[in-house]
Structure 1
Amino acid sequence: MLEHGGNLNDAALHYGRARSAWLDLSTGINPVPYPAPTPAADAWHRLPEPSVDLVRAACAYYGAPRLLPVAGTQAAIQALPQLRLQRDGRPARVVVAAPIYAEHAHCWQRAGHVVQEVAYEQLDAAAAGDCQVLVLCNPNNPTGAMVEPGRLLRWAQLLHARGGWLVVDEAFGDTVQAASVAAHAGDGLIVLRSVGKFFGLAGLRLGFVAAAQEVLDALADWLGPWTISGPAQQIGAAALADAAWQRATLQRLLADGERLQALLARHGIASSGSALFQWWPEPRAVQFHDAMARQGVWVRLFTRGAGGIRIGLPADEAGWQRLAQALQAWSAHG
């Protein structure tokens, strides 16, 4: 199993510091989550039939013509390589943008497909080449790199013409909704959306897939019944319909994202990212990660390639001050 952010139990065990004593910035999850309502009593009692209210709210929020709820986008990331095998009966030539959320390449490789990892700057050539599936995150996780919608739609057309798929993971797309291509899903374009990041509800395990109806039908059949719990459906529907909370949260996250980038810049770190996280290639990534951890600040370490660091947002002013102090100590002694 690949390593991910949010692994605070590992941090507590390795460094001998209680979970409650950590400032966890290792994920890109909104640290001030949606105030989840109490689910109706029957949500715990009844089998979770598919919720029309949830799908209606999701389609309105994401601007997609049709969506399939899934148990987090991870469920779709694992299932899509299997569906491709089932459809074609043979492995596909898959290009995965790099660097990227590692589960994408891992799941396609594990299913037996031929995977090539390609830098974002080379994706135009990859889309025009002979690959059958092209996978990327937009915004990218972990770098925040963006591909404008027009290019994505051109790539989708090229892939669809040869029976291929363009898979666009928009898990961090809520703060840049104008860049989403969910409204155009279909004809070879598959879009993944997550409730966990912007809404801060990662424990809900709720995401959505936008795609052609035949892909959604095959995916639903592969995943089986009752994939989304009753409480998750009710809470998700409420969050996706709460426009006032969404507007206020978007303003706060955009401001906090700028604040985090400015804080890092004051300590000589030129970062990129999104409103929910910042990332930079760090030549001393392991040492930085360890130095932060010894001060009780848990950040995300990337060791592939040249190495890098990703930092999420603190939840409150005390967290911001603690991060600033840890960065000051690194600048002084790192």
Structure 2
Amino acid sequence: MSGHFTHHGGRLADACARFGGTASDWLDLSTGINPESWQPTAPFPVDWQALPDPAALLALERAAAGHFVCDPALCVAVPGSEVGLRQLARLLGLPGLYQRLAYGTYRAAFESAAPVDDLSHLPNRATTLVLGNPNNPDGRILSRDALLSLLAHQERHGGCLIVDEAFADCKAGWSIAAEVAPGRRLIVLRSFGKFFGLAGLRLGFFIAPPDVGDDLRQRYGDWPIHTAALAYGQAAYADHAWITATRSSLEVRAAALDSVLRRHGLTPQGACPLFRLVTMLHASSVFEALAQQHILTRPFADHPNLLRFGLSRDDAALSRLDAALGKASHGG
């Protein structure tokens, strides 16, 4: 299976080149991005000729911190959590640890990185442990107590815990951003694009102790966030009615996806409503069969028995997946 599709989702140009069609022909289920994005209730102007306003950056970070329920002074906006993690790994300068089934950038970000198979048996040395919560791609949730226990281990040995909460907006109780504090070796990553469905804005956040946050601000300079991201981010985080309604609607739509998958003998895994993971013997064959019908899912190079499905935009798209799975399962 081509590495183009196993590295990240959203490779529609590669899909068109290999399987034909144009982007408009495809149903892209390869990402964990909300297909119903946040939009302003009324258009607001974005002045592309002006440099990003420092006051707007502070306002964005305050709005985001209110949503994350953390200290605004510890909230640092960055141009995407993926690139931010790479910068953070260089800043910390420690070997990285990651779970074997996890987001690929955890491994790629660190100069020296290794998988850990059992979180209850971490090495007794200084490392940076990176965990997704919810984890991508299996949607597993670690409890607050479990995360704080891992943090205590990392701190005893001079290490650090990074919790990637890229998908945590889906449920308020998942985040431990409030636990970040000066002197603590805990850093939380947040992503704007997943839940709000605007990944193209490239907006993310670190909730970090002051020494780490100050260093990150220096590395990104005076204008880390472009003008549109400043405006959209501040307005979206203040839209509490949309956030509440979207959390409920995502659960309903995830349940509908579960029903379709189960109808075809597949067992959906994960608590995150933005995606579901399934285990099957011939995942690569199902990926290919769906791609032949212009439906893009997410395979994994190191886990050839896994396939991840993102949410469909509407009932018609879900029905299309239902029919395509029927054809795939019968080899038609």
Cα deviation for residue 74 of structure 1 reads 0.8
Question: What secondary structure is seen at the aligned counterpart in 1 of 2:248?
Answer: helix
Per-residue CA deviation, residues 207-248 of structure 1 (Å, 9 max, x unaligned), is 110010110011111222312101110110000000001111
Cα deviation for residue 283 of structure 1 reads 2.2
Q: 2:45 aligns with which of 40, 45, 50?
A: 40
Letter in 2 for 1:151: A
How far apart, in 2, do the equivalents of 1:149 and 1:276 lie? 21
**Are residue 70 (structure 1) and residue 82 (structure 2) matched?**
no
TM-score by length of 1: 0.92
Q: 2:101 aligns with which of 93, 96, 99?
A: 99
**Are residue 294 (structure 1) and residue 302 (structure 2) matched?**
no
Matched residue, 2:256: 259
Cα deviation for residue 281 of structure 1 reads 2.5
How far apart, in 2, do the equivalents of 1:259 and 1:326 lie? 16
Q: 1:181 aligns with which of 173, 176, 179?
A: 176
Question: What secondary structure is seen at the aligned counterpart in 1 of 2:193?
Answer: coil
Counterparts of residues 135-174 of structure 1 (less than 5 Å): 135-174=130-169
How far apart, in 1, do the equivalents of 2:274 and 2:322 lie? 17
Cα deviation for residue 271 of structure 1 reads 1.7
Letter in 2 for 1:102: G
Structure 1 unaligned regions, length at least 5: 86-91
Question: What secondary structure is seen at the aligned counterpart in 2 of 1:272?
Answer: coil
45-54 vs 4-13, greater mean Cα deviation: 45-54
Question: What secondary structure is seen at the aligned counterpart in 2 of 1:95?
Answer: strand
How far apart, in 2, do the equivalents of 1:283 and 1:77 lie? 33
Q: Is the 8 A contact 1:39 1:231 kept in 2?
A: no
C-alpha change, 1:289 and 1:131, in structure 2 (3 Å) is farther
How far apart, in 2, do the equivalents of 1:151 and 1:11 lie? 40
Q: Is the 8 A contact 1:100 1:140 kept in 2?
A: yes
Per-residue CA deviation, residues 104-127 of structure 1 (Å, 9 max, x unaligned), is 11111xxx32x22123xx11221x
20-29 vs 145-154, greater mean Cα deviation: 145-154
Aligned positions, number? 320
Question: What secondary structure is seen at the aligned counterpart in 1 of 2:77?
Answer: strand
Q: Is the 8 A contact 2:266 2:279 kept in 1?
A: no
How far apart, in 2, do the equivalents of 1:38 and 1:195 lie? 20
TM-score by length of 2: 0.92
**Are residue 279 (structure 1) and residue 296 (structure 2) matched?**
no
**Are residue 125 (structure 1) and residue 131 (structure 2) matched?**
no
Question: What secondary structure is seen at the aligned counterpart in 2 of 1:190?
Answer: strand
Structure 2 unaligned regions, length at least 5: none
Question: What is the RMSD of the two structures over their aligned residues, measured on CA atoms?
Answer: 1.6
